[in-house]
Each structure stands twice: as C-alpha cells, then as structure tokens.
C-alpha cells in the first residue's frame, strides 16, 4: 500500500507543481506593465570635404635626362712631332679659355722648312724679274725689226706666265710651312673643359692621332623624352619647319641631388629632334642652360656638370577657371560626390583636363565654393544625408 502511494505521489506531484508555476507566471505577466519603446538614433556617416576653388593653373610636364655638352671636340694635331710641353690645365677636368695653348710640339724642323720656303719665294721672284726684263728687251727688238704685234713666244709670254706661276707656288708653299709651324702649338678653339688626355711630354705623335677630347662650357644641353600626350600642354614647343630656325620654347626647371641636397637650374627648350623614337613613341626635346659652370646667384650650388642626372619640369600652357582636387576624390572615372546646403550627397560628372600623380585638374562640372567629398563610403546613394567633418 505504501509503495503504491509513493509511486502515485512521484507521478502526480511534478504535474501539480508545473501547473502551479504556469498559473503563477500567467498572473505575473498580466499584472506587469508593458515595456518602454526606445527609438534608435541613426547617425549619418562623417565625411571629409574640400571646398572647390576655380583658379588659373599652369600645366607642367615632368621628365628627366642627362646633362651633356652642346659642343664637343677631339684634340687631333694636324702635324706630327715630339711633345715638348703640355699645359698644366690639359688634364681630365681642367678648364681652359679660348686661345689657350694646350700642348707644343718640337718646331725645329718646321722652322727650317719656313726658311727654305722663303728662299724658294725669293728665287721665284728673281726668275720672274729676269723674265720680265728679257720680255721687255724682246718687245723692243721686235718693234725695231718687225711689224705689228710680236708672237707670244717671241714676247716671252709663256715664260712670264710660268715665272708668275712659280712665284705663286712658292708663296703658297711658304704659307703652308708657316701654318705648319703655327700648328706645332695646339690651341683651344673655345673656352671649355678637358674630358680626357692621351699624351704627355716626350711622346711622338703622328698627324691625325687623337691626343684628348674637350667640350665647351658656355652651354649645357639636356635631352628630354616627352610622351606624345604631354605635347598637348606645350603649345609653344620649338618645332622646326623647313626653311625656319627653332625659337625659344618653354622654360624648364632642372633639379638634381648633389652632396645630400637638391639644387635647381633654369633653362629653356630650344629644339626638338628630327625623329620620333620608333620603340617608345617618344618625342625628344633639347633644353639648354647657359653658363652651367658659373656660380650664379645661389651660393653653394654645384656646377651643372656633364653626366649629371636631372629631373626636369617644363612650364606649359596656362588654363583659366579650373579646379584642383585630389585624384582620390574621383569616383567611377569622371564623377565626384558633392554636398548641397542640406549636407546631402549628389553625384556630379566632371570634365577632367589632366590627371597628375596626386591631383586631378577639372575643367568643367564644379563651381567655386562647392564641397567635394573626399572620403570613400562603403554604401552611398544619391540624396543620402552625411555629416561633414569639422574643419573640412
């Protein structure tokens, strides 16, 4: 009996407890107040903006090149001989002025040749004087004995012409020997600098052998490659047509690193080369810098030496009423997002005149004072509300 009662209690008691708990929960739920409704505030995304300004902008074309001399020459003697003197400035890197002697050859043999040539001139003139005297005698005799004009041979006309030719030949030979004597001293044809030297005292050199190379220092040139599309920004390029000379082109700013510092020189484009590079499709323009080895007005600036690698900035055309914005502000190629007075986004198509490394030059599509969105938004829609960043 007790076991049956115990079993019944184990079954019924849990059921009773569950029913009681359910009734209690229902009672509490009916008596509880309804929960308060909380409205969630959705904040617009914060964006950085730039106020567009319309300005006049000068296009620039950036390129690079290596400095080279405008004029370069090989030092080649016109006569041979033994070197008896070399200028202390005739060394690699040495400077010299126009007319300065660079080296001298032994001139003894050439001096003797001048003496012999002068003697030959005297002998030829003596022979001519004798022929003139004999011709005069022949004409006088013919006038006494003959009639009319004497024959050329009788008047010694061929002999006179031969004697005159002998004088001219002797004088020409004297001039040549005097020039050869002068050429034993090799002089600088212009103010310049020595690139290299291949001769020294005591060495015998033959005519036509190269003994060094020099270059002028009045003007330095830089060959600058230009992509075809960049020529559109350089309307005053010095293009040369047949029958014309190239004029002064755009100004060029040259910059180079030397001894840990950047230095600057100014020059101009003076011409374009005659051919377009078949491989790169580049046009090569040539810039010139005057007095590249002068100190100029910049203390501490090094010379614009031959072989120096320089970055060039060519100053091109000026365009009016354009906006300069960061290139990162462009969306989908030629669109930007602008804000209206209510801080709402609107897509705007713009005309891109040029894209530089970091800057986009906008020719049309933006007005002065408009706010251009710089931030990249993950989700964006036309008319979306945003919050401009303070100070932007």
Please state the domain extents for the chain.
Answer: 49-57+320-388, 107-183
Average pLDDT, the chain: 87
Nearest CA-CA partner of 363 in 328, 325, 334, 322: 322
| Confidence grade of residue 391 (pLDDT, cut at 50, 70, 90) | low
Residue 29 pLDDT: 56
**Which carries the bigger pLDDT value, residue 224 or residue 230?**
224
Which two three-digit tokens encode residue 110? 């050439």
- Cα(86)–Cα(79) distance, integer angstroms: 16
Q: Which residues contact 381 (CB under 8 A, 6 or more apart)?
A: 345
Question: From residue 256, how far is each of 66, 176, 299, 310, 374 by CA, in Å?
Answer: 10, 50, 16, 5, 34
299-344 pLDDT, tens digit each: 788 999 999 999 999 988 888 999 999 988 898 888 899 998 888 8
The edge-to-edge listing of strands for the beta sheet with 192-197 is 72-75, 212-216, 192-197, 95-96
pLDDT at 36 over 70: no
pLDDT at 33 over 60: no
**Which carries the bigger pLDDT value, residue 154 or residue 257?**
257
Q: pTM for the complete prediction?
A: 0.71
Residue 144 pLDDT: 80
Which two three-digit tokens encode residue 354? 């040029």
| Confidence grade of residue 265 (pLDDT, cut at 50, 70, 90) | very high
- Cα(121)–Cα(169) distance, integer angstroms: 8
Cβ pair 201, 258 in contact under 8 A: no
Residue 99 pLDDT: 95
- Cα(112)–Cα(83) distance, integer angstroms: 18
Domain 49-57+320-388 has CATH 3.10.129.10: no
Which two three-digit tokens encode residue 230? 């960049």
Nearest CA-CA partner of 375 in 57, 44, 41: 44
pLDDT at 40 over 60: no
Which two three-digit tokens encode residue 32? 């509880």
| Confidence grade of residue 34 (pLDDT, cut at 50, 70, 90) | low
């Amino acid at each position: 009996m007790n076991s049956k009662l115990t079993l019944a209690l184990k079954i019924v008691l849990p059921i009773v407890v569950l029913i009681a708990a359910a009734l209690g929960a229902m009672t509490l739920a009916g008596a509880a107040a309804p929960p308060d409704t909380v409205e969630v505030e959705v904040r617009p995304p914060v964006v950085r903006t730039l106020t567009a300004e319309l300005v006049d902008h000068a296009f620039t074309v950036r390129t690079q090149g290596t400095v080279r001399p405008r004029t370069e020459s090989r030092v080649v003697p016109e006569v041979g001989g033994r070197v008896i003197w070399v200028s202390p400035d005739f060394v690699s890197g040495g400077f010299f002025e126009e007319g300065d002697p660079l080296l001298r050859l032994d001139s003894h043999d050439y001096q003797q040749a001048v003496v012999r040539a002068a003697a030959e001139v005297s002998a030829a003139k003596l022979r001519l004087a004798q022929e003139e005297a004999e011709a005069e005698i022949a004409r006088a005799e013919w006038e006494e004995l003959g009639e009319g004009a004497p024959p050329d041979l009788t008047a010694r006309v061929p002999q006179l012409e031969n004697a005159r030719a002998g004088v001219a030949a002797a004088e020409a030979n004297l001039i040549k020997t005097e020039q050869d004597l002068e050429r034993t001293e090799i002089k600088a044809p212009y103010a310049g600098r020595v690139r290299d030297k291949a001769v020294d005292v005591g060495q015998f050199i033959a005519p036509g052998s190269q003994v060094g190379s020099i270059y002028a220092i009045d003007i330095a040139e830089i060959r600058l490659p230009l992509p075809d599309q960049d020529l559109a920004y350089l309307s005053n390029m010095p293009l040369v047509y047949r029958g014309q000379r190239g004029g002064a082109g755009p100004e060029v700013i040259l910059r180079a690193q030397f001894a840990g510092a950047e230095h600057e020189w100014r020059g101009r484009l003076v011409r374009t080369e005659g051919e377009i590079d078949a491989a790169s499709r580049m046009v090569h323009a040539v810039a010139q810098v005057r007095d590249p080895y002068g100190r100029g007005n910049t203390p501490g600036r090094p010379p614009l030496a031959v072989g120096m690698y320089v970055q060039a900035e060519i100053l091109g055309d000026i365009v009016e009423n354009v906006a300069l914005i960061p290139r990162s502000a462009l969306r989908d190629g030629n669109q930007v997002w602008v804000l209206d007075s209510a801080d709402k986004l609107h897509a705007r198509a713009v005309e891109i005149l040029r894209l530089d490394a970091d800057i986009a030059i906008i020719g049309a599509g933006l007005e002065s004072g408009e706010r251009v969105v710089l931030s990249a938004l993950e989700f964006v829609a036309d008319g979306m509300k945003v919050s401009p960043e303070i100070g932007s």
